[in-house]
């Protein structure tokens, strides 16, 4: 995709539109998570089915994310825009989201209705997947490659703030009633996607050249999936490990409040992390952050007082901010620009694989010992470093890498 020299490195209006979509997606998942136990209870579906749904939804996303990303690349190639696929996914997701609370009005409860509920929940999650890879791949259209980490920092901040709000808004959300809350979620998503489409750049003419051609590297695709798995696994365990370390080292502290500050820290670190990565190169900055996260996380259980523990936690939070913020820019730089949808899809599919494996292996994450959890974090992040070092062999470093 050609970018005129007169364009700024970051098109902030478009990036803000993309951030609005990220906020809408996070809001819908918060609403879904808050209401799911109530919905399962109303239809007399065992609560254990919630875990099964998580595994099934993420298991399907492993393949569905790359497929939808690749289809959006085809759409860009043939019609000059990704928005036809994005629009279909957004409309389906909004409609199915609103259908979830409407199911509660259907009586009486029967086995058929229980299966219908499960079908609608899975269908909604797939509809959400359908537009995520295509829409987040637009980031490469809105920022020059060296400035991608800075542009991505707005998305990271929005996602981290969702983590801050999730524990405190669950009951607040339900107090409005499911139908009203789900309607608001659907309207917010439709509005955000419509606003993004309105500010999006004019569509490019269809490309006469073969899509990707011989430049598509299957090894690089597998590497991107590996980054998604290792970063997703390490981040999931690291967030859980914070709570276990706090309970062990600070038994009198309010753990829920401390975890809120962890997510606030991730939100605050996103922009500084993006600036650092833009200044020194995203790939090398992520490698340094992974090393810092490994070292500081292993020291956390050894800290004799809260001040030193707080220092280690701050280092880990800053490192995680850089890692999570740099992920989209990293994978977008590893495949040809016309394969941006596939790049994002492979990364998100790898993340879904990590969530699926974690849910299958650990029914109760609280039972993971502190040392065991932090060791698995170190292994996951070490493997991520290996993936990034391997990427240098597949794609030599540029000055901004």
| Top-confidence residue, 48 or 136 | 136
Query: What integer is the mean pLDDT of 127-138?
Result: 94
Query: What integer is the mean pLDDT of 301-311?
Result: 88
The predicted pLDDT at position 213 comes to 45
pTM here is: 0.90
Secondary structure (3-state) at 399: coil
The predicted pLDDT at position 7 comes to 45
| Top-confidence residue, 299 or 394 | 299
The predicted pLDDT at position 5 comes to 44
The predicted pLDDT at position 169 comes to 67
Tell me the per-residue pLDDT of 35-77, one tens digit each, with 9 for 90 and over: 888 888 888 888 888 888 888 989 999 999 999 999 999 998 8
Residues 6+ away with beta carbon under 8 Å from 36: 50, 53, 121
Between CA 207 and CA 235 the distance in angstroms is 38
pLDDT over threshold 80, residue 365? no
Confidence band, pLDDT 50/70/90 cuts, at residue 375:
very high
Interhelix angle 148-174/282-299, rounded to 10 degrees, is 50
pLDDT over threshold 90, residue 164? no
* Residues facing 10 on adjacent strands: 143
Secondary structure (3-state) at 143: strand
Q: What does residue 58 show for φ and ψ, rounded to 5 degrees?
A: -75, -30
Confidence band, pLDDT 50/70/90 cuts, at residue 118:
very high
CB 136 within 8 A of CB 391: no
Other CB atoms within a 10 A radius of the CB of residue 141 amount to 18
Tell me the per-residue pLDDT of 201-238, one tens digit each, with 9 for 90 and over: 766 655 445 444 445 678 899 999 999 999 999 999 99
Reduce the secondary structure of 168-188 to three states and give it as a string.
Answer: HHHHHHHCCCHHHHHHHHHHH
The predicted pLDDT at position 380 comes to 96
The predicted pLDDT at position 284 comes to 93
DSSP sequence for 191-259: HHHHHHHHHSPPPPPPP-S-SSGGG--HHHHHHHHHHHHHHHHHHHHHHHHHHHHHHHH-TTS-HHHHH
Tell me the per-residue pLDDT of 173-183, one tens digit each, with 9 for 90 and over: 767 788 888 99
């Amino acid at each position: 995709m050609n970018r005129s020299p007169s364009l700024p490195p970051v098109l902030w209006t478009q990036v803000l539109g993309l951030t609005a979509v990220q906020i809408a997606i996070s809001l819908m998942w918060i609403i879904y998570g808050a209401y799911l136990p109530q919905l399962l209870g109303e239809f007399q579906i065992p609560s254990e089915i919630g875990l099964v749904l998580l595994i099934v939804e993420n298991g399907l996303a492993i393949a569905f994310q790359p497929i939808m990303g690749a289809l959006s690349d085809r759409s860009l190639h043939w019609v000059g825009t990704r928005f036809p696929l994005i629009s279909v996914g957004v409309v389906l997701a909004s409609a199915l989201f609103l259908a979830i609370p409407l199911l509660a009005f259907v009586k009486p409860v029967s086995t058929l209705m229980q299966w219908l509920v499960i079908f609608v929940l899975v269908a909604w999650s797939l509809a959400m997947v359908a537009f995520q890879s295509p829409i987040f791949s637009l980031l490469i259209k809105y920022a020059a490659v060296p400035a991608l980490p800075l542009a991505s920092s707005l998305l990271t901040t929005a996602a981290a703030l969702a983590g801050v709000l999730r524990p405190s808004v669950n009951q607040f959300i339900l107090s409005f009633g499911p139908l009203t809350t789900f309607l608001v979620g659907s309207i917010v998503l439709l509005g955000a996607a419509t606003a993004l489409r309105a500010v999006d750049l004019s569509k490019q003419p269809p490309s006469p050249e073969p899509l990707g051609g011989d430049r598509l590297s299957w090894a690089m695709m597998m590497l991107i999936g590996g980054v998604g798995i290792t970063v997703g696994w390490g981040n999931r365990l690291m967030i859980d490990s914070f709570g276990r370390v706090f309970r062990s080292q600070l038994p009198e502290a309010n753990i829920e409040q401390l975890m809120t500050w962890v997510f606030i820290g991730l939100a605050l670190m996103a922009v500084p992390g993006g600036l650092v990565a833009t200044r020194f190169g995203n790939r090398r900055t992520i490698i340094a952050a992974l090393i810092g996260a490994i070292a500081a996380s292993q020291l956390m259980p050894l800290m004799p007082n809260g001040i030193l523990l707080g220092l280690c936690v701050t280092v880990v939070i800053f490192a995680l901010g850089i890692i999570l913020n740099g992920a989209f820019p990293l994978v977008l730089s590893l495949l040809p620009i016309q394969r941006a949808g596939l790049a994002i899809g492979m990364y998100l599919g790898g993340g879904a694989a990590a969530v699926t494996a974690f849910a299958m292996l650990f029914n109760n994450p609280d039972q993971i010992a502190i040392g065991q959890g932090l060791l698995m974090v170190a292994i996951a992040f070490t493997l991520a470093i290996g993936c990034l070092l391997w990427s240098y062999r597949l794609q030599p470093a540029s000055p901004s890498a």
